[in-house]
Amino acid sequence: MIATVAAPPPGVHFSAPGMSPSSPGPNDQVTVTVTVTANAGIQNVTVHYTTDNWKTTNTTILASYNSTSQQATAHIPPQYNGGHVGYYFQAFDNNNNVGTDTNGGNYFSYAVSAPTSNATTSMWIEIAIVLVVVGAAVSIGFYSLRQKPNPTGQ
């Protein structure tokens, strides 16, 4: 009896992606990871992302790829004003076959919380402190430059 083992199907294959941090804030860079495999080996992996639901803005990032672990890693920059980020993965194998993982057309996504009003409040506090310090320096300057009474009375 001879056992036959089927070869894995050709093309590029993706695992379920990971994301860190899981609940990003407005100052957080988001790291996305995915395992990508192909019989021919992987040539490159890119992450495409949007902040306006693919209307006018989309950006492509070349992911770093570790051929030993087969893991691709990319960093999506902070979204300082908060909002929604959608993204998907694309990879080419060494035979120029392309694979795309759009999460079944739904895209992978995450929400970024809006900045809190505390940042605005602390900014105003800092401005007030600077103004007080500048005002004090100006007052001291004027005081030291004022004419002093002549001790001889002349």
Give the range of the structural domain holding residue 130, as residue numbers without chain letter.
116-147
Residues 6+ apart with CB under 8 A from 112: 24, 25, 26, 28, 78, 79, 82, 83, 84, 85
Instruction: Report the run of H or E that residue 134 belongs to, with start and end.
Output: helix 117-145
Residues 34 and 106 both lie in one domain:
yes
The tokens for 149 are 């009474």
- What local confidence, expressed as pLDDT, does residue 6 receive? 47
- What local confidence, expressed as pLDDT, does residue 82 receive? 95
Residues 122 and 111 both lie in one domain:
no
Residues 37 and 85 both lie in one domain:
yes
Relative to beta strand 108-112, strand 64-66 is unpaired
Angle, CA 27 vertex, CA 114 and CA 121 arms, to 5°: 60
- What local confidence, expressed as pLDDT, does residue 55 receive? 95
Give me the number of domains the chain comprises: 2
Query: Which sign does the torsion angle of CA 102, 105, 30, 126 carry?
Result: positive
Residues 58 and 133 both lie in one domain:
no
In a domain, residue 153? The reply is no
Cis preceding-peptide flag for 21 (omega within 30 of 0): yes
Beta-strand (E) ranges in 1-154?
Answer: 12-14, 18-20, 30-38, 42-50, 59-62, 64-66, 71-76, 83-93, 98-101, 108-112
In a domain, residue 5? The reply is no
- What local confidence, expressed as pLDDT, does residue 131 receive? 75
Residues 17 and 48 both lie in one domain:
yes
- The mean pLDDT values, 10 residues at a time, for the chain of 154 residues are 56 96 96 97 97 94 97 97 97 96 97 80 71 70 65 61
- What local confidence, expressed as pLDDT, does residue 132 receive? 72
The domain that holds 63 is classified in CATH as 2.60.40.10
